[in-house]
Structure 1
């Protein structure tokens, strides 16, 4: 769903025009993400720009752009980095272990087919072209893998599916959720809050009753430091229908066609990337005081120690 690119700080920071041209190629809504390699990638870009002699005015714009948009463009994929080696040596080593979509660098040495120069990063280049929608098999692994880049980068995540069910009633919603949480923990992500939003129905237990059984339904799937919050919503008369499914974070969002339950490889769900501002607007529908939907009862908070609290 999202392609990972290794972008050399010295290459993107070589001059203002190169920086402006390259930085706009990346973002969650574009399907292309810059790998945080090294960990302080933005600082390396700034240092390279200063060394290149970019003017103070342009430096201010460059720093502001990095500060305000890195959350939407740069993602930590858990890459190793040896500061004793050159950037390109690190990139090639990581590429051999887990391939990037492309390595963008100013090196003049053709080290592999995926190495490209900054001025070749146009939409006609197959290594740069990235789909913003695709069909994802409705399996536990495929769904969780497609959601991982967004979930790993977001501070907290909103999972919106009107039919989401913790109870084993024929559809497996817990499997993809558990796999996503496991992959987040394996990726070294610190504790996150995952909010799950579903539609009210007469067949659903009350929040008080669900708080009693929910710890058993989620036993062993919540990593240390993570929190699950469960919200039940109703439509407001004359207002928006509650039908669409999303996974939303503070860095972007994905619209999910057929739903977030795993039913098997014979079916696909269409995953489509949302524009950043659209994703932020959709998140507001599922917050306290929302005028789009009405919260039913109290939310439930589940923690890694098996406790459940009405909030």
Structure 2
């Protein structure tokens, strides 16, 4: 659902008009993300704007927008950058190692099929088109591919699915978790937590049995520095329905139509990017002190060493 773009600091900083045009094209809710490439990308943009003669009042606007929007637009996947070489040479070399979706640069003379000029960055351009909803085949691999960058960029992932069950009832949810764990292992970031929120049902085991079951079924599955939290919620009489499925994080959110359990390549689920503000409002419904739904029992926290505790 998301694509990573390399954006040359000199291209976006070449004028206030170019900055304003480009920065609004990116965001988790738009499906396009700017790679922090190099590591001090924002500083390079500001330097480029100053060198281009952008007025001080507009420089301050650039600083403010970069600061306020860095979590919503810019991702840092710790890409390699050789400071003795030009930005475009670095981008092309890194693209060969780990492809960007496209490269936005003032230098478009290089032989590369994914180079874009600033004025190419329109929604109808093949390399810039980013649908905010699509049908995704319900295989573990396809679902994981469309969650890849959101999971990789987030410190906390919230999986909301009323039917989620690690016992394998109703779908291969453990296989889905294994794919998320694999994504996390591909990116070397700080520790993170995956929080699962599922619906109450009489067939659900009490929290102490869920703890024992999770310890038995998930031992050896969690990567280092990843914790898994299992939470059961019940609807309140006359309150919000607990039906829709989501992937929510501090960065963004995706609504999932038919659910997250794999059902085979012949079925699809509709994935839709959520507006950032809406995504955070939905995420707040499942905060530890939230009161939209009734929390059932205690949460189960599974640690990388395979142990599980009630919290």
Q: TM-score, normalised by structure 1?
A: 0.95
Q: Which moved more, 1:234-243 or 1:79-88?
A: 79-88
Match of 1:203 in 2: 203
Match of 1:99 in 2: 99
Q: CA deviation at 1:110?
A: 4.5
Inter-partner Cα distance in structure 2 for 1:168 and 1:188: 29
Match of 1:131 in 2: 131
SS in 1 for 2:189: coil
Match of 1:40 in 2: 40
Q: Which moved more, 1:120-129 or 1:86-95?
A: 120-129
SS in 2 for 1:144: helix
Q: CA deviation at 1:34?
A: 1.1
Question: 2:18·2:118 contact (CA, 8 Å) conserved in 1?
Answer: yes
Match of 2:268 in 1: 268
Q: CA deviation at 1:108?
A: 4.7
Match of 1:310 in 2: 310
Inter-partner Cα distance in structure 1 for 2:276 and 2:199: 24
Inter-partner Cα distance in structure 2 for 1:297 and 1:6: 46
Inter-partner Cα distance in structure 1 for 2:134 and 2:167: 29
Gaps of 5+ in 2: none
Match of 2:119 in 1: 119
Question: 2:108·2:116 contact (CA, 8 Å) conserved in 1?
Answer: no
Summarize the alignment of residues 47-86 of structure 1 with structure 2, pairs less than 5 Å apart: 47-86=47-86
Match of 2:16 in 1: 16
Gaps of 5+ in 1: none
Encode CA deviations 1:9-36: one digit per residue, 9 max, x unaligned.
Answer: 1111112111111000001111111122
Q: How many residues align?
A: 311
Q: CA deviation at 1:87?
A: 0.9
Q: TM-score, normalised by structure 2?
A: 0.95
Q: CA deviation at 1:92?
A: 1.3
Q: CA deviation at 1:120?
A: 2.2
Q: Which moved more, 1:235-244 or 1:59-68?
A: 59-68
Inter-partner Cα distance in structure 1 for 2:49 and 2:220: 47
Q: CA deviation at 1:256?
A: 0.5
Runs of 4+ in 1 over 6 A off after TM superposition: none
Encode CA deviations 1:42-86: one digit per residue, 9 max, x unaligned.
Answer: 222122222223222212211111111111111234532222221
Inter-partner Cα distance in structure 1 for 2:248 and 2:220: 24
Q: CA deviation at 1:191?
A: 1.4
Question: 2:159·2:196 contact (CA, 8 Å) conserved in 1?
Answer: yes
Match of 1:171 in 2: 171
Inter-partner Cα distance in structure 2 for 1:199 and 1:118: 47
Question: 1:145·1:180 contact (CA, 8 Å) conserved in 2?
Answer: no
Match of 1:238 in 2: 238
Match of 2:290 in 1: 290
Encode CA deviations 1:230-270: one digit per residue, 9 max, x unaligned.
Answer: 11000011111100000001111000111111222222111
Match of 1:25 in 2: 25
Inter-partner Cα distance in structure 2 for 1:108 and 1:210: 57
SS in 2 for 1:58: helix
